[in-house]
Amino acid sequence: MHEILEGIIGIIKEGGKILLSASSLHAKGIAKGGHANFVTEYDSKIQSFLIEKLSILLPEANFIGEENGLSSFMEKDRKGYAFVIDPIDGTNNFMKGYEPSVISIGLFRDGIPFIGVIYNPFQDQVYYALRGHGAYLNGIRIHSSLDPLESSLVSVGTAPYLPELHPKMFDLCALYLSHGMDLRRSGSAAMDLCMLASGKTGLFFEPVLGLWDFAAGAVICEEAGCIITDLDGNPLTYDSSSSILCVSEGVSRGRYLPDDLRKA
Ligand code: IPD
Ligand code: CA
Ligand code: CA
């Protein structure tokens, strides 16, 4: 499996060149439905490139991708291998020239992600993990923070495309702002998970994310000592969209679930 991991890293870096070659200011978004939810020609171009190259690397694998009608999880994806791809995570950042925007690739075996690779081409940073073998940034082992919640930064995903979730999201922001050090919002959920895995933040939450947003980051975070669940503390099922709550090793040693903090 190490060769497959190396292969994915090579391919994701090539995909990163397509992202860097784009003049984001000329990347016009086409509305996809929902509030401010766009796809650019680069999302489609990068996804097609990744599928072409990854099919050569692992011909038996299925694909789940955010774009071009590949976004639903089928029964066949539960068996054997499936790549779960977000060709640009942070499309709105990309359209505005506001970094980061990253590429995220998860590889599932029998319905569970076991390889995660996330590439931020703007800083040439590749975060990756193979389940059971630790998490890495550009070849250097990373680990989540040991700090407790009160001295940790909390990053929030705003669920921007679903206005009906915004009141809940702002309630959670208030809760975690009062229990943590401060809030951050990057515009890329995959990057938020990498910040957690590499010890910069202590907790990340978002009221809903697609499988492609969190699949790769979940493996990287777990291999860095984090705990990832939904916002009620239930284990992830990895077969559809979900709310996400991910905490560092240090934060996981105390209370951090919304219901527990409200009672405290
Ligand atoms: C989005 C980003 C954002 C998160 C949204 C995601 P996209 O992905 O990860 O940070 O708040 O929920 O959908 O649309 O840029 O691939
Ligand atoms: Ca995404
Ligand atoms: Ca995307």
Confidence label for 221 from pLDDT (cuts 50, 70 and 90): very high
According to DSSP, the β-strands at 140-142 and 135-137 are antiparallel
Do 53 and 117 fall into the same domain?
A: yes
Do 153 and 138 fall into the same domain?
A: no
Please list, residue by residue across 138-147, b when 16 or more beta carbons sit within 10 angstroms of its beta carbon and e when fewer do: eeeebbbbeb
Cα 59 to ligand 2 centroid, rounded to whole Å: 25
Do 131 and 160 fall into the same domain?
A: no
Is ligand 1 within 6 A of the CB of residue 158? Answer: yes
pLDDT reading at 213 higher than 80: yes
- Domain end among 107, 142, 177: 142
Contact 108, 77 (CB under 8 A): yes
Do 115 and 10 fall into the same domain?
A: yes
CATH number at residue 99: 3.30.540.10
How many CB atoms are closer than 10 A to CB 4? 16
Do 158 and 244 fall into the same domain?
A: yes
Do 102 and 209 fall into the same domain?
A: no
- Which ligand 1 atom is nearest residue 212's CA? 16
The range of the structural domain enclosing residue 124 comes to 2-142
Please name which ligand lies nearest the alpha carbon of 98: 1
Do 7 and 132 fall into the same domain?
A: yes
- Domain end among 76, 108, 142: 142
What is the rounded distance in angstroms from the CA atom of residue 106 to the CA atom of residue 172? 28
Task: Output the pLDDT for position 23.
Answer: 64
What is the rounded distance in angstroms from the CA atom of residue 209 to the CA atom of residue 244? 7
Mutate to test the pocket of ligand 1, among 98, 213, 231 (most ligand atoms within 8 A of CB): 213
Cα 151 to ligand 3 centroid, rounded to whole Å: 31
Nearest CA residue ID for atom 5, ligand 1 = 159
| Predicted confidence (pLDDT) per residue in 96-129, tens digit | 889 899 999 999 999 999 999 999 999 999 999 9
* DSSP H stretches of helix in 77-232: 91-96, 166-179, 189-197, 211-223
Is ligand 1 within 6 A of the CB of residue 194? Answer: no
Task: Output the pLDDT for position 65.
Answer: 82
Cα 6 to ligand 2 centroid, rounded to whole Å: 23
Number of domains in the chain: 2
Is ligand 1 within 6 A of the CB of residue 93? Answer: no
Cβ neighbors of 205 (< 8 A, separation 6 or more) are 154, 156, 157, 172, 176, 231, 243, 244, 245, 246
Nearest CA residue ID for atom 12, ligand 1 = 159
What is the rounded distance in angstroms from the CA atom of residue 50 to the CA atom of residue 86? 10
- Domain end among 72, 107, 142: 142
Do 112 and 17 fall into the same domain?
A: yes
Task: Output the pLDDT for position 74.
Answer: 76
Do 132 and 7 fall into the same domain?
A: yes
- Which ligand 1 atom is nearest residue 187's CA? 10
What is the rounded distance in angstroms from the CA atom of residue 40 to the CA atom of residue 56? 25
Do 107 and 164 fall into the same domain?
A: no
Length of the chain: 264
What is the rounded distance in angstroms from the CA atom of residue 257 to the CA atom of residue 247? 10
Cα 250 to ligand 2 centroid, rounded to whole Å: 27
Task: Output the pLDDT for position 61.
Answer: 95
Structure tokens at 23: 């003049």
Confidence label for 36 from pLDDT (cuts 50, 70 and 90): low
